[in-house]
Chain A
């Protein structure tokens, strides 16, 4: 079974802090994604990566950056956390190909005070 793990289930940070969210997948997937989920807005894509060292902006990249130094690991960075970044953050991975499906991690609920 594919396993996608996220470094924290819950995080509380202060406004202005730098925040790192880590994601690791164990199935040698090429693609990795970061989403945030907010009530009434569904899942919105922040950044994604199709290969090591590669990154692409999703629909809402402002205020975020990412790093993919190894194939299995994809990090989301909030350079200076703000209260509007309080959300559930979900990491996902997938194989390449048209009929691929994303496998999600358990999520990190981030509260920015």
Chain B
């Protein structure tokens, strides 16, 4: 039972354009959401997070949007840069419980 889903296994975007990565969840109890970025042969690194009391959080080129009614989360990267090419995982948590991860989206930025 996949509670956090990333339905696009891969995404290609032209350098300088906007990258939009999507994530859907089924558990309405989730109240904290995170995005991680992973390069090959490295561990995931934290990118940005959002609490369920907000609908948007920005950090530089990265913005996360939360639509609780649709149980949908998205990460916007603008402008996209070659160094953004990586696998992106969304993750969700309820209270102090463990994180539940999605299956990941491989983002490729085309120069």
Contacts and interface: CB of A to CB of B under 8 A. Distances in A.
Contacts, number: 53
Contacts of A97: 96
| A48, A99, A106, A109 pick with most chain B CB within 10 angstroms | A99
A49 to B, nearest CB: 11
A26 B79 CA distance: 35
B81 to A, nearest CB: 22
Nearest to B99: A102
In the complex, which range does the number of interface residues on chain B fall in? Answer: 20 to 34
A101 interface: yes
A90 interface: yes
Nearest to B94: A98
Nearest to A33: B98
Interface string A83-100: 000000010100011110
A92 to B, nearest CB: 8
A64 interface: no
Given A4-B43, A98-B96, A101-B46, A40 B9 contact: yes
Given A42-B101, A42-B104, A106 B43 contact: yes
B34 A101 contact: yes
A42 B98 contact: no
A42 to B, nearest CB: 4
Interface in A32-63: 33, 35, 40-45, 48, 58
